[in-house]
């Protein structure tokens, strides 16, 4: 299975920057494919922010294009989200997501989505 741990959230003023990191831990027989960042505000659904394939192809929500950059280090099983020109409406809990599958403990796990615990990002006006 894949265990995800996010870090880097916090409080920042509008116009500032933050960099989120997500470490993915899995067994040696597990493959991690697409990864991404999602966010959820109170009372709202969880929405995609940015995704990145194992080959590095990226996709962004319109609201963050030109301000956020997603990247990954496949050797370290890390995914990052550089957030610049932050706005109060970017305030949310940010979640890391990874899709992976493989063998662990002699059991086969088909490809599925795994989520981190989330990290709070608060942008003050």
pLDDT tens digits for range 75-96 = 999 999 999 999 999 999 999 9
Q: How many CB atoms lie within 10 A of CB 89?
A: 11
Which candidate, 36, 33, 24, places its Cα nearest to that of 99? 33
Model pLDDT for residues 43-76, shown as the tens digit of each residue:
999 999 999 999 999 999 999 999 999 999 999 9
Beta-sheet strands, E only, within 41-106 = 47-52, 58-60, 68-73, 78-83, 92-104
Q: How far apart are CA 49 and CA 66, in angstroms?
A: 12
* pLDDT band (50, 70, 90) for residue 30: confident
The burial of 50, by beta-carbon neighbours within 10 Å (0-12 exposed, 13-18 middle, 19 or more buried), is given as buried
């Amino acid at each position: 299975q894949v265990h995800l741990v996010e870090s880097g959230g916090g409080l920042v003023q509008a116009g500032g920057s933050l960099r989120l990191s997500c470490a993915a831990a899995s067994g040696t027989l597990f493959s991690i494919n697409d990864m991404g960042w999602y966010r959820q505000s109170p009372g709202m659904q969880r929405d995609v922010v940015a995704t990145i394939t194992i080959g590095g192809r990226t996709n962004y929500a319109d609201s963050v294009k030109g301000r956020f950059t997603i990247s990954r280090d496949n050797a370290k099983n890390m995914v990052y989200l550089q957030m610049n020109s932050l706005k109060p409406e970017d305030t949310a809990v940010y979640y890391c997501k990874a899709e992976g599958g493989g063998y662990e403990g002699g059991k086969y796990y088909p490809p599925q989505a795994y989520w981190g615990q989330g990290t709070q990002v608060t942008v003050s006006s």
